[in-house]
């Protein structure tokens, strides 16, 4: 019996517009199968009830996931006033109610309180670990979940619309680790009512933006076309796209060989940097390595063999 095929060496980012009801892990598995890729991962979990930007890393792109995850994220979300749920979204049971409904002026008045560096208590139903177990697994088992508040960064928070007295729509630009469900819960309490997220869509993750997304349906259509026409690689974004926020340096082919063997190189030229906490290098527009610069030397930390 022959060995099971493990997939191909596919490298790049798929910017999936994740559909409603699909978990992030399921989405990664589907995309990996569609591309027949050996390796895949994602840059930031989206709940099944959320839609939008799920950056999926294939092959060497998995080595750049932390850079995408650390970037800012933009969400559009709706809050339903008057009901708190166990999960802080529409999936959970209603655990508290209120007859009070805030008006537009009241909502806008509290928004400044939720900008900047905040201390936020994550939802009990979250992927955070407690003694090695996921908080949502403990919560679903009926156990009391005690999480510590965490500092999060919210740079922008805008009231977009109040379509009716029970709902308000917002857009938020925030940093890593921010829970929109917790933000909705806390805003409701500040307004003297209860509330939960009734709709959530992510439109940006780091350098990846809404206009670049592709639907799972379109990917499936492409995959099932005639093989001569199904150019799946055409929708891949380069591995280094996730590295837009760190400096790029060009090196010679000979220097690239040294880096790929784990050796440091001396950067030459009048404009060569003497020190950088993070940078990446390319040769002939092909990603070679991510590393740092110390005393004029580039020291590789992650190398990308056969990335071209």
Catalytic positions are: 47
Q: Which helix (H) or strand (E) holds 32?
A: helix 24-35
Q: How far apart are CA 269 and CA 255, in angstroms?
A: 14
Non-local CB neighbours of 292 within 8 Å, separated by 6+ positions? 276, 277, 278, 279, 298, 299, 301
Residue 65 to residue 19: CA distance in whole angstroms:
21
Question: Using an 8 Å Cβ cutoff, are 170 and 74 in contact?
Answer: no
Cα–Cα distances in Å, from 120 out to 150, 154, 181? 5, 11, 11
Using CA atoms, how far residue 235 sits from 9, 15, 222, in Å, is 16, 9, 10
Q: What is the token pair recorded at 9?
A: 């060496």
**Which H or E run contains 30?**
helix 24-35
Neighbours of 240 (CB within 10 A): 25
């Amino acid at each position: 019996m022959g060995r099971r095929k493990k997939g191909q060496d596919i490298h790049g980012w798929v910017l999936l517009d994740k559909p409603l009801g699909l978990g992030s892990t399921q989405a990664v598995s589907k995309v990996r199968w569609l591309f027949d890729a050996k390796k895949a991962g994602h840059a930031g979990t989206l709940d099944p009830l959320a839609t939008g930007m799920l950056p999926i890393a294939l092959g060497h792109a998995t080595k750049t996931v932390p850079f995408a995850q650390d970037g800012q994220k933009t969400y559009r979300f709706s809050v339903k006033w008057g009901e708190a749920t166990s999960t802080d979204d529409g999936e959970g049971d209603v655990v508290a109610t209120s007859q009070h409904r805030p008006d537009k002026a009241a909502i806008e008045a509290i928004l400044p309180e939720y900008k900047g560096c905040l201390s936020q208590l994550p939802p009990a139903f979250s992927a955070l670990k407690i003694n090695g177990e996921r908080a949502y697994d403990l919560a679903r088992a009926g156990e009391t979940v005690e999480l510590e508040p965490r500092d999060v960064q919210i740079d922008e928070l805008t009231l977009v619309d109040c379509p009716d007295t029970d709902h308000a729509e917002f857009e938020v630009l925030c940093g890593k680790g921010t829970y929109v469900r917790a933000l909705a819960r806390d805003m409701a309490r500040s307004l003297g009512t209860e509330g939960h997220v009734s709709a959530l869509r992510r439109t940006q993750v780091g350098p990846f933006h809404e206009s670049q997304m592709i639907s799972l349906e379109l990917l499936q259509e492409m995959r099932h076309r005639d093989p001569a026409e199904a150019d799946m690689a055409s929708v891949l974004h380069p591995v280094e796209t996730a590295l837009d926020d760190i400096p790029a340096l060009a090196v010679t082919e000979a220097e690239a060989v040294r880096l790929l063997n784990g050796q440091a190189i001396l950067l030459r030229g009048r404009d060569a940097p003497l020190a950088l906490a993070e940078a990446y290098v390319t040769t002939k527009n092909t990603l070679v390595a991510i590393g740092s610069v110390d005393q004029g030397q580039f020291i590789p930390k992650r190398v990308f063999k056969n990335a071209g």
